[in-house]
């Protein structure tokens, strides 16, 4: 997606960066706090009322992914430096509201309310939907292997999921060594989609399901925390009080996934309804896709390198936003040995609101982490003008 405005970007880390290993899904209790609704935080919300702030921002990201536009393309130019300016009316905002109604009507009439069509179905990343076929694409000599959104049945000839997962556990360090892993601190640098510089990042994880990620930005710390039950995002916001955003739905589930991500020995028990999937290609290397389902029934796809057995990609989806499921893709590279366990030192997390690239320099195994590190974070003030 194109560069988003800086202020909007600091509410964007809602799908979270899956940073350290494999995927596990916590069976968390309901959140302790009631999420803030979009119309309680933003001005002039007309169509997307009654959904939490994090889901509202997911929807904005879906608009951007579908149309190839950024925040100020749909809003006014002044919105890049002023929250109130986001409420100003534009023709694109008016059109978008009408199109959301059309999409919902089609899905209700022809797909029993399911997301049979979304904004992306017609726009496919462009502002105006294309009406003429692309013959070059139709007759391309080497068709692109697109991974399925959802694997519905086992791929003939694919190895059993237990075989793939057992191989991964052995490649990462073995069940015995992984069983001794209780906590992790990772430190390094990160860069956002439109950042020209990188900045420090810290990740704290404690078994079985607590996790905090702190992005030290030039505007203040952006902190995402999951305490084993509830999740929050605190980030510096200009001109308006910055409440801590309470995570909900698929975003809360995503934080639960991240919270247990550092403990790959539990992967086989994490998801249900495992299905062995097809081979695919990532960077000219064959990968095997397998799929499980989280407690909400949403598919989670894992991609394992056929040669090394290591996890190289994860694709998950949030719960349905008003305009469809929101994907998050996490790529794992540069595995290194840390006390007998293999950790990816480079991680790229991509979602509809942006992309973060993390390069870790130091990973500590089983350090003592104070409980306060996983408490509800406090939003920092926006720095004063020089």
pLDDT digits (tens, 9 = 90+) for 181-208: 999 999 999 998 878 899 999 999 999 8
Give the 3-state DSSP-derived string for 258-299, with helices as H, strands as E and coil as C: HHCCCCHHHHHHHCEEEEEEEEEEECCEEEEEEEEECCCCCE
Number of residues written out for the chain: 386
Averaged over 84-92, what is the pLDDT? Answer: 85
Both structure tokens of 303: 């991609």
Averaged over 30-46, what is the pLDDT? Answer: 79
CA distances from 358 to 19, 111, 258, 355 (A): 8, 40, 15, 10
For the chain, what percent of residues have pLDDT higher than 70?
A: 87
Distance CA 324, CA 221 (A): 31
Distance CA 75, CA 69 (A): 10
pLDDT at 224: 93
pLDDT band at 5 (very low <50, low <70, confident <90, very high): very low
Every domain of the chain and the residues it spans: 1-27+36-133+152-381
Going 304 to 308 to 311 to 313, the CA torsion angle's sign is negative
Instruction: Compute the half-sphere exposure of residue 270: CA atoms within 13 Å on the CB side of its CA.
Output: 30
- From the number of C-beta atoms within 10 Å of its C-beta (0-12, 13-18, 19+), residue 279 rates as middle
For the chain, what percent of residues have pLDDT higher than 90?
A: 42
Task: Share the mean pLDDT of the chain.
Answer: 85
Question: What fold, for 1-27+36-133+152-381?
Answer: outer membrane lipoprotein receptor (LolB), chain A (2.50.20)
Strand partners, 272: 293
Strand runs labelled E in 168-252? 183-192, 199-206, 210-217, 220-226, 231-234, 245-246
pLDDT higher than threshold 50 for residue 22? no
Task: Output the CA torsion 37→61→22→198 (10° steps).
Answer: -110
Strand partners, 293: 272, 299
Distance CA 170, CA 176 (A): 10
220: left (phi over 0), alpha (psi -120 to 50) or beta: left
Distance CA 96, CA 151 (A): 31
Highest-scoring range by mean pLDDT, 43-57, 104-118, 363-377: 363-377
Both structure tokens of 378: 């406090």
Per-residue pLDDT reduced to its tens digit, 248-259: 888 888 788 778
pTM, two decimal places: 0.86
């Amino acid at each position: 997606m194109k560069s988003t405005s800086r202020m909007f970007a600091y509410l964007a880390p809602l799908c979270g960066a899956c940073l350290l290993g494999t995927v596990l899904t916590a069976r968390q209790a309901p959140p302790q706090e009631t999420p803030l609704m979009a119309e309680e935080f933003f001005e002039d919300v007309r169509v997307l009322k009654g959904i939490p702030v994090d889901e509202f921002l997911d929807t904005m990201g879906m608009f951007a992914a579908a149309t190839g536009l950024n925040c100020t393309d749909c809003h006014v130019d002044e919105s890049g430096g002023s929250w109130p300016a986001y409420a100003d009316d534009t023709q694109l905002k008016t059109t978008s509201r009408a199109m959301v109604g059309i999409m919902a009507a089609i899905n209700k009439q022809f797909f029993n309310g399911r997301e049979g069509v979304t904004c992306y179905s017609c726009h496919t990343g462009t502002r105006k939907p294309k009406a003429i076929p692309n013959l070059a694409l139709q007759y391309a000599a080497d068709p692109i292997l697109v991974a399925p959104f959802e694997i519905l049945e086992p791929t003939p000839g694919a190895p059993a999921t237990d075989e793939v997962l057992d191989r991964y556990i052995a490649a990462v360090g073995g069940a015995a060594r992984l069983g001794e892993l209780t906590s992790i601190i990772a430190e390094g640098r990160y860069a956002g989609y439109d950042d020209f510089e990188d900045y420090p990042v810290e990740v704290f994880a404690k078994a079985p399901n607590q996790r905090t990620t702190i992005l030290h930005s030039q505007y203040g710390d952006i902190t995402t925390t999951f305490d084993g039950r509830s999740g929050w995002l605190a980030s510096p916001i200009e001109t308006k009080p910055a409440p801590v955003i309470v995570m909900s739905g698929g975003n809360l589930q995503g934080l639960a996934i991240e919270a247990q991500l550092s403990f790959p020995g539990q992967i086989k028990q994490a998801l249900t309804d495992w299905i062995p999937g097809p081979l695919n290609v990532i960077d000219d290397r064959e990968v095997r896709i397998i799929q499980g389902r989280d407690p909400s029934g949403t598919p989670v796809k894992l991609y394992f390198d056929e040669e090394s057995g290591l996890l190289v990609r994860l694709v998950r989806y949030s719960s349905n936003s008003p305009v469809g499921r929101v994907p998050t893709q996490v790529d794992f590279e540069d595995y290194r040995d840390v006390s007998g366990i293999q950790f990816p030192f480079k991680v790229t997390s991509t979602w509809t609101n942006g992309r973060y690239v993390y390069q870790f320099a130091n990973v500590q195994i089983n350090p003592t982490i104070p409980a306060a590190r996983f408490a509800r974070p406090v939003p920092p003030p926006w720095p004063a003008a020089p």
